């Protein structure tokens, strides 16, 4: 962990270099921070989904390495940002060792500072944080755009559900790989 401007402590590489489901659960309660020189936007992560690797049929890496998903195959702790439905961006944090293409999708934030508009849902989250594909590959352990230490969520407060919008993924669609903080009003689909 490294101190960052504003007194926040950034999560460092080893945090992301672990089992994807553990990283997903541990990201709940952490702070997503983005500073662009003039303003700082901060949101508390309250909903995530784990995409555990090539064997996971809902994970982009299950269809092999492509130009779009190359960031997932790189080292952990980087932002994997892609566009869906031609109009929305989704933000993921790359997990596990380089070459193991897995990531955690950030689905909802709790408003903390500098955010405008709804933050429930992966597309809205990116819009409120000003995130687009130019940030694909950005190192989340560096300055400007990172995830910082936060109060976390107790295991009893973490709800496990199937992921959203992956019905095509066969048995993987039923796995409980979506996690959110119980009762939090910013969760996209309680």
Query: Can you give the binding site for DNA, defined by CB under 7 A?
Result: 49, 51, 58-60, 63-64, 66-69, 72, 80, 82-88, 90, 92, 103, 105, 118, 121-125, 133, 163-166, 168, 188
Least distance between DNA and beta carbon 156 (Å): 26
> Which residues face 83 on adjacent strands?
89
Among residues 151 and 170, whose Cβ is nearest to DNA? 170
Nearest alpha-carbon partner for 123 in 63, 164, 67: 164
Q: Is the four-CA dihedral 169, 174, 175, 176 of positive or negative sign?
A: positive
Residue among 128 and 153 whose Cβ is closer to DNA: 128
Between CA 141 and CA 181, with CA 175 as vertex, the angle to 5 degrees is 55
Tokens of 107: 């689905």
Q: Closest distance between DNA and the C-beta of residue 139, in Å? A: 18
Query: Could you give the 3-state DSSP secondary structure of residue 75?
Result: coil
Distance CA 141, CA 162 (A): 29
- 78 contacts 71 by C-beta, under 8 angstroms: yes
Tokens of 106: 């950030």
Please report how close the Cβ of residue 62 comes to DNA at its closest, in angstroms: 9
Q: How far is the CB of 134 from DNA (least distance, A)?
A: 11
Compute the least distance from the CB of residue 154 to DNA, in Å.
25
Cβ closer to DNA: 18 or 124?
Answer: 124
Whether the CB-CB separation of 82 and 68 falls below 8 Å is answered with: yes
- Quote the CA–CA distance of 90 and 102 in Å, as a whole number: 15
Q: Which is nearer to DNA, 29 or 121 (CB)?
A: 121
Our CB check for DNA shows the closer of 48 and 158 to be 48
């Amino acid at each position: 962990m490294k101190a960052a401007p504003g007194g926040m402590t950034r999560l460092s590489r080893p945090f992301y270099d672990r089992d994807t489901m553990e990283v997903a659960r541990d990201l709940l309660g952490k702070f997503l921070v983005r500073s662009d020189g003039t303003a700082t936007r901060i949101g508390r992560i309250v909903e995530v989904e784990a995409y555990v690797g090539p064997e996971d049929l809902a994970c982009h890496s299950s269809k092999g390495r492509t130009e779009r998903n190359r960031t997932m195959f790189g080292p952990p702790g980087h932002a994997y940002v892609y566009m869906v439905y031609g109009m929305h961006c989704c933000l993921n944090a790359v997990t596990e060792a380089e070459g193991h293409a897995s990531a955690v999708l950030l689905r909802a934030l709790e408003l903390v500072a500098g955010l405008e508009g709804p933050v429930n849902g992966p597309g809205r989250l990116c819009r409120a944080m000003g995130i687009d594909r130019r940030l694909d590959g950005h190192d989340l352990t560096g300055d400007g755009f990172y995830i910082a230490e936060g109060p976390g969520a107790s295991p009893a407060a973490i709800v496990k559900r199937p992921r959203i919008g992956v019905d095509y993924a066969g048995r993987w669609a039923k796995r409980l790989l979506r996690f959110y903080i119980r009762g939090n009003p910013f969760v996209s689909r309680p």
